[in-house]
Chains A and B, each alone.
Chain A
Amino acid sequence: MRTELNIDKALAALADQPKPDWLVHWQQQGQQVLSQTAWPTRKTENWKYTSLKSLQGISWQAETPDAVADGIRFVDWQEISIDFVNGRLVNTPKLPDGVTLHRLSDCSEAEGLTFLQKVDSERAGFEFDALNQSLLTEGYWLKVAKDIQVAQPIHLNFISSGADVVTSTQVLVELESGARATIAETFSATAEARVLVNANTALYVGDNAQLTHYHLLLEEGEVRHIGRVTGSLSRFASLSSFHMAVGGILKRKDITIRHRGEGAELSLNGVYLPKGHEVIDYHTTLEHEVPNCTSSEIFRGIMADHGKAVFNGRIHIHKDAQKSVAEMNNRNLLLSDHAEIDTKPELEIYADDVRCAHGATIAQLDKSLLFYFQARGISKKEAEVMLSFGFINELLDALNDQPVQTLLRPLLATLFAQKQADLARHIL
């Protein structure tokens, strides 16, 4: 990928930075893989519907601008906000007892290698992992100690800025056994940013631990965001992970969750809303490696204008994973004749005693519903907004999750109305 993706400047800047040998080794390993990996094209199965052209013709650099942007702020959530600008931690808030945040650069060699090993063991053939490894200068290890219940949500607020800047980050969230926490990752960009955000997150949920996780890609403008989220669930662990992507030029997130301990429970949900010429691509994989685990996955998308989305949802039930229950549902709404969705559910089942279901639908706004609104005096435009929002709202309602209702509803409402207050008034 080295010839197609010009990161020479970023690599040169890396060479100037002081860092421990084990990290240098890690980067070099990544760079080697990167140069051996073929540039993904439409012929590459995983990239069949998504072009990477928008990454080319730019000389990507690693820049650390001094600007501190505000990013996403939630109102009334009383969360602990940890801010990152182009991957750099810019504040150090006080964390509750039992919660620690370590920087990879502060780790001892043993710790650092543990971090990298944990990240590495979750990966599986995603081309951009090599990019992440090549350029990784900093990682963040958020740990919640055994049996600690964190009431306050923790917000990792990632902000991108600068021209032609590539940033690779790696977050590792680890909940020890019996721990409970809510972690929201948001990604935003300054208005003039022209960036490639390469953000990876690895989630480890220990025995009986419960993690509520949000991963929201909210960057608008000249932003490409390519990365992955991995999750590993131990015995009776529970993970609820909510994803959202809006805006930008190209967004691609690969999500792989592995059930590694019996009795684990996963609820994976997401929303994608490409408009204009935006492209959003979610690839999700659920790995049922052991028996008696449950997965429920719902993704919904609305494609407007020339927007395009790709959804690939794979469920893989391993041979020994008897009594697995896995359901996946993907519904799509096309708002224009130029919009596009490529959806593909994949089931691979190697155990015989399982309950699996998947389904995908594509629809347009129902004209008879639109007429009902109009017959009540509501303009067609407002009706479209209310109906689209209703389509997403059905999912939000089903999640029955308070933060989703109070934080995401207003956020989504403004997005749907494309910032037109008069259109948003009845959904806010």
Chain B
Amino acid sequence: MLTIKNLKAKVEDKDILKGLNIDVKPGEVHAIMGPNGAGKSTLGYVLAGRDGYEVTDGSAELHGENLLDMDAEERARKGLFLAFQYPVEIPGVSNMEFLKASVDAVREARGLEPYSSVEFIKLAREKSKAVNLPADFLKRGVNEGFSGGEKKRNELMQMMLLEPSLCILDETDSGLDIDALQVVAEGVNALRSPDRSFIVVTHYQRLLDYIVPDYVHVLADGKIVKSGGKELALELEKEGYRWIEGETV
């Protein structure tokens, strides 16, 4: 699914990713944990193709295709989805308009017919219900005035509508109340399938009780410094990152 080899990237002349390796196979869930500023969000942006993030070495392939050569929109159309840590607000563009444009674009790339407006409205309502967002959020500007938790749920709704093959969730659990956390976990679990993979960035072991990962990685200072099974998250919770840093130094 996704193969990242020795990936190095910098932002504004500052090296952030310093030789990162991950191999995600179809159907797997990988959790990435790590201290603030380690480069977790940067990894997401680099994979999603954000301007200003310069790859200086290494490779990243999605379905065997070189991801790094593609425009951001092309990556999304090929099945990559990044749920943002900080979703932006877009006043003047309604959520519904935005979702339709997005789903149409991705479906077109897959050779599928666009939904009719009626079909789409029905579908969008269904998904907004699934993430516990009242339907009138569809009429509001994208994320405009949404609370932190509502923004995260909106991200999840987009993911459900786009049916991507690789989902990167950047702290989608941060800022969620306990009920919302369950909603998110249920949403993700419902999407789990043998041909869909997840990278879940989180600071909290708790999420991983709900979304049980196949692997847990620790990202520190731009590198994966430790990998293991789901038990690793429990150890981290107990010992903190210093324990690992001590080990690697």
A contact set with B: CB distance below 8 Å? 366-369, 371-380, 382, 386-387, 389-394, 397, 425-427
Contact = CB atoms under 8 A, between A and B. Distances in A.
B97 A377 contact: no
A375 B51 CA distance: 11
A380 B84 CA distance: 18
B90 A397 contact: no
Nearest to A426: B101
| A-side interface mostly | helix
Contacts of B162: 376-377
Contacts, number: 88
B88 A426 contact: no
Contact of B76 (A369, A376, A386, A427): A376
From B76, B92, B109, B142, name the one whose CB has the most chain A CB atoms within 10 angstroms. B92
B93 A378 contact: no
Q: Which are the 9 A-B pairs with shortest beta-carbon distances?
A: A390-B92, A374-B72, A376-B102, A377-B76, A390-B93, A377-B105, A426-B101, A394-B92, A377-B106
A390 B90 contact: yes
Nearest to A388: B92
A386 B93 contact: yes
B176 interface: no
Contacts of B81: 375
A298 to B, nearest CB: 13
B111 to A, nearest CB: 14
A21 to B, nearest CB: 55
A375 B90 contact: no
Contacts of A392: 92
Interface residues of B, number: 31
A394 B49 contact: no
Nearest to A379: B73
A371 B52 CA distance: 11
Contacts of A427: 97
A371 B51 contact: yes
Nearest to B106: A377
B71 interface: yes
Nearest to B44: A375
A127 B128 CA distance: 58
Contacts of B51: 367, 371
B71 A387 contact: no
Given A377-B73, A426-B97, A368 B92 contact: no
A393 B92 CA distance: 5
Contacts of B109: 377
A323 B91 CA distance: 33
Nearest to A371: B50
B90 A379 contact: no
A394 B72 CA distance: 27
B241 interface: no
A63 B188 CA distance: 71
Contacts of B90: 369, 372, 387, 390
B24 to A, nearest CB: 19
Interface string B31-75: 000000000000000001111000000000000000000011100
Interface in B208-246: none
Contact of A389 (B82, B84, B87, B92): B92
A374 B88 contact: no
B98 interface: yes
A142 B115 CA distance: 48
A380 B73 contact: yes
B203 interface: no
Contacts of B71: 374, 380
Contacts of A382: 101, 105
A373 to B, nearest CB: 8
B15 interface: no
A372 B144 CA distance: 14
Given A368-B88, A382-B101, A386-B98, A375 B93 contact: no
Contacts of B8: none
B100 interface: yes
B63 to A, nearest CB: 16
A377 B93 contact: no
Contacts of B76: 374-377
B172 interface: no
A391 B101 contact: no
Contact of B77 (A366, A368, A377, A380): A377
B202 interface: no
Contacts of B91: 390, 394
Nearest to B107: A377
Contacts of B73: 373-375, 377-380
B53 to A, nearest CB: 10
A426 B158 contact: no
Given A382-B101, A386-B98, A375 B72 contact: yes
A372 B87 contact: yes
Contacts of A371: 48, 50-51, 72
